[in-house]
């Protein structure tokens, strides 16, 4: 023991702090051990430095009281090879304030022999003095880095405050959910218990009687198809025939062949006109006056496209019209309205204005012999189909002819006119003195289809273009017709349309197109009710007379040289509807001796024989019987 340092060692001589009773430096705190300098010299004695006291000189093993045991040491855990460059006690386990050979003193410390137990780890076994060099500071390790077990970590006050704040919120939310989950409404009404009817049906659920119309058609289909075979044999190349029952084809010979339709084309014009213009559409003819110093200057008759505007003498004139043109729009009523408005003297001219439509009076592809005879002139203002009262002939100036006829009616009512009748355009802004409106379109379509009125068809075609495209031209009307047919899903294979009346031979329509269009409508609709009735009205008044089809079959006829057509409907007993399209095109077929047998015998007798089996009313489900 070094005599020069007794006070330093005295406080570490209490052996009670270590189970083995030796090694005072083991009881030093970690902070005290860190003060030991590791910058030691292996030979020369050191001196106290800034970090603590350093042993004065190295000690040999013979100076220690424990000799090294021979052989390998027994270890309880994994051994560790100590590098040779480490010093004898690099971690300060044997570094203290006394030498190994000195005895402990003070506070009743007992003297024990420092015997090293066998099998201790190498870190607790005495070693021979090794040369120790300076250890770089970056490579030093802290061996005993265990934290004191008795120390408790400080609690987080923020988490505690959050918990305290959230706890009542959770309680309140749970209470609210519990209160809102209560249902105080009245209990639901219990479902009614199904009861079996007192009577049971005689007809099974899967019986064909559940579809009586289908069953009726199927029971009569075979016989009906056999009855139509003669008609199919009469359809030559270039013609077509198609017959259906409730939309199911029973005959379809040449159905896709494009044939000249003649006046059956008017059915297409009527269908599109009712859709584009509306069944309540009316045509209004106006009278406008030019005022000069409070007096009437010129008077203008402004056409509104009315195809049935006429004087009272014209519609029923059998010499000019095959069928009466009714319902006509009275030109006399318009003349009287002018007089009633106080116009008794006209200082200028009486001008007819036909500018609503273009100036094309006739379709270019019409034969010359058709013009002003079969059709035309076509204009926005036409009176009496352009026929002049005095000559009973048609003029080539429909606006001037209308002004001349209106002048006659005004003069008959005491109106004096200084000027002359002529055609022209109405200046903008002139006041309306009087006007007259036509019958609704639904009635005009009836006149068109029953009488096959060519002028009405052509004027309706231009009106379609005027309303849909603001262009009163034939081309605009045809474009709208084509668009509407495509919108309806009507097949247009081979379809070609150049006019509205069907007078041009360049028109081409197939039976498939007509059958699809006929299928859009049924009995009771406006266009079907507007067709000619067999043996009764219009172009069918001379056909099917005395047969089972009289007053039942309705249709539209078409006729040109070498062309004969018939399309229409036949309602049959039981609620079914037969639709048919027959377009024949062959030389001489327009002669009654050629087409009449086909119409009345082949077509008429075949469709008149349907149904040959029970009708739908007889095939409905049987009445129920009591249980």
Q: Concatenated DSSP letters for 345-358? A: EESS-EEEE-TTS-
Number of H helices, E strands in the chain: 15, 19
Give the pLDDT score at 58.
54
Q: What pLDDT is stored for residue 104 in this prediction?
A: 47
Summarised one tens digit per residue, pLDDT across range 232-279 is 999 999 999 999 999 999 999 999 999 999 999 999 999 999 999 999
Please, is 1 exposed, middle or buried when counting C-beta atoms within 10 Å of its C-beta (0-12, 13-18, 19+)?
Answer: middle
Show the domains of the chain with their CATH numbers.
1-65+83-131 (no CATH), 215-264+492-610 (3.40.710.10), 284-439 (3.50.80.20)
Give the pLDDT band (50/70/90) at residue 384: very high
pLDDT at position 7 is 45
C-alpha 27/C-alpha 14 separation (Å) is: 9
Residue 4 confidence (pLDDT) above 80: no
Q: Which is higher by pLDDT, 37 or 358? A: 358
Is residue 41 exposed (0-12), middle (13-18) or buried (19+ Cβ within 10 Å)?
Answer: middle
Torsion 345-348-353-359 (CA) sign: positive
Question: DSSP states of 424-476 as a string?
Answer: --PPTTPPEEEEEE---HHHHHHHHHHHT-HHHHHHHHHHHHHHHHS--SHHH
Mean pLDDT for 540-560 is: 96
Please report the pLDDT score of residue 123 as a whole number.
47
pLDDT band at 626 (very low <50, low <70, confident <90, very high): low
Per-residue confidence (pLDDT) for residue 193, from 0 to 100? 57
Residue 192: per-residue pLDDT:
61
pLDDT of residue 217: 64
Dist. CA 125–CA 434, nearest whole Å: 136
pLDDT at 615: 60
CA pair distance 1, 574, nearest whole angstrom? 138
Tell me the average pLDDT across 505-529: 97
pLDDT at 125 over 70: no
Q: Which residue has the higher pLDDT, 69 or 464?
A: 464
- Predicted confidence (pLDDT) at residue 31 exceeds the cutoff of 80: no
Percent of the chain with pLDDT over 70: 66
Better pLDDT: 168 or 266? 266
Are residues 577 and 568 in contact, defined by beta-carbon separation less than 8 angstroms? no
Q: Considering only residues 393 and 165, tell me which one the structure prediction assigns the higher pLDDT.
A: 393
Comparison of pLDDT for 112 and 578, the residue scoring more: 578
Residue 509 clears pLDDT 70, i.e. is over it: yes
Name the pLDDT band for 203 (thresholds 50, 70, 90): low
**What pLDDT score does 159 carry?**
74
What is the mean predicted confidence (pLDDT) over 549-571?
97
Give the pLDDT mean for 336-345: 95
For 367, phi and psi rounded to 5 degrees?
A: -60, 150
User: Does the pLDDT at position 41 exceed 70?
Assistant: no
Average pLDDT over residues 364-369: 96
**403 pLDDT more than 70:** yes
Average of per-residue pLDDT values in the chain: 80
User: 84-98, 166-180, 194-208, 541-555 — which one is most confidently predicted on average?
Assistant: 541-555
Q: What is the mean pLDDT of residues 395-409?
A: 96
Distance of CA 129 to the CA centre of its chain: 97
Strands 421-423 and 350-353: parallel
**pLDDT bucket at 9, cuts 50 / 70 / 90:** very low
DSSP 4-20: T-HHHHHTT--GGGSTT
Question: pLDDT per residue over 411-449, tens digit each?
Answer: 999 999 999 999 999 999 999 999 999 999 999 999 999
Q: Which one, of 624, 623, 618, 622, lies nearest residue 215 by Cα?
A: 618
């Amino acid at each position: 023991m070094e005599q020069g340092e007794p006070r330093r060692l005295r406080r570490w001589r209490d052996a009670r702090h270590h189970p083995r009773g030796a090694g005072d430096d083991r009881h030093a705190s970690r902070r005290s051990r860190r003060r030991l300098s590791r910058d030691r010299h292996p030979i020369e004695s050191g001196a106290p430095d800034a970090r603590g006291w350093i042993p004065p000189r190295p000690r040999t093993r013979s100076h220690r009281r424990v000799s090294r045991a021979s052989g390998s040491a027994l270890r309880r855990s994994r051994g560790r090879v100590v590098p040779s460059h480490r010093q004898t006690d690099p971690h300060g386990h044997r570094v203290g304030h006394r030498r190994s050979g000195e005895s402990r003193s003070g506070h009743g410390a007992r003297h024990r022999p420092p015997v090293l137990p066998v099998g201790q780890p190498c870190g607790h076994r005495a070693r021979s003095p090794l040369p120790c060099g300076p250890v770089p500071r970056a490579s030093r390790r802290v061996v005993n880095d265990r934290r004191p077990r008795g120390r408790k970590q400080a609690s987080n006050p923020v988490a505690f405050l959050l918990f305290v704040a959230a706890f009542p919120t959770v309680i309140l939310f749970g209470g609210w959910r519990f209160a809102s989950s209560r249902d105080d409404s009245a209990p639901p009404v219990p479902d009614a218990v199904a009861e079996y009817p007192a009577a049971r049906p005689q007809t099974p659920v899967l019986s064909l009687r559940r579809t009586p119309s289908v069953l009726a058609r199927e029971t009569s289909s075979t016989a009906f198809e056999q009855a139509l075979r003669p008609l199919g044999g009469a359809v030559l190349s270039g013609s077509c025939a198609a017959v259906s029952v409730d939309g199911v084809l029973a005959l379809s010979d040449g159905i896709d062949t494009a044939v000249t339709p003649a006046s059956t084309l008017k059915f297409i014009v009527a269908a599109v006109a009712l859709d584009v213009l509306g069944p309540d559409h009316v045509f209004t003819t106006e009278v406008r006056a030019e005022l000069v110093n409070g007096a009437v200057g010129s008077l203008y008759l402004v056409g509104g496209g009315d195809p049935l505007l006429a004087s009272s003498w014209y519609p029923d004139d059998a010499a000019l019209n095959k069928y009466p043109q009714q319902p006509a729009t009275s030109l006399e009523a318009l003349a009287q309205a002018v007089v009633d408005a106080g116009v008794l003297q006209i200082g200028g001219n009486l001008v007819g204005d036909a500018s609503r439509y273009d100036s094309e009076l006739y379709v270019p592809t019409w034969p010359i012999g058709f013009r002003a005879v079969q059709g035309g002139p076509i204009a926005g203002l036409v009176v009496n189909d352009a026929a002049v009262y005095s000559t009973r002939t048609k003029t080539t100036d429909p606006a001037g002819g209308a002004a001349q006829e209106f002048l006659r009616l005004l003069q008959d009512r005491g109106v004096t006119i200084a000027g002359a009748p002529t055609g022209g355009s109405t200046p903008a802004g002139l006041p309306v003195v009087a006007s007259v409106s036509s019958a609704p379109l639904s009635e005009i379509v009836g006149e068109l289809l029953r009488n096959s009125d060519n002028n009405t068809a052509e004027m309706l075609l231009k009106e379609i273009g005027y309303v849909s495209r603001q262009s009163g031209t034939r081309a605009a009307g045809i474009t709208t017709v084509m668009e509407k047919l495509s919108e309806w899903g009507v097949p247009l294979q081979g379809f070609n349309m150049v006019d509205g009346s069907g007078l041009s031979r360049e028109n081409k329509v197939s039976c498939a197109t007509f059958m699809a269009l006929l299928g859009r409508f049924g009995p009771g609709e406006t266009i079907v009710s507007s067709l000619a009735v067999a043996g009764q009205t219009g172009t069918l008044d001379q056909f099917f007379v005395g047969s089972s089809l009289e007053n039942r079959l309705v249709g539209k006829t078409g006729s040109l040289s070498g062309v004969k057509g018939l399309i229409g409907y036949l309602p049959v007993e039981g609620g079914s509807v037969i639709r048919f399209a027959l377009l024949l095109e062959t030389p001489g077929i327009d002669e009654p001796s050629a087409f009449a047998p086909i119409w009345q015998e082949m077509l008429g007798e075949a469709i008149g024989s349907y149904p040959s089996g029970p009708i739908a009313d007889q095939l409905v489900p049987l009445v129920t019987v009591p249980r």
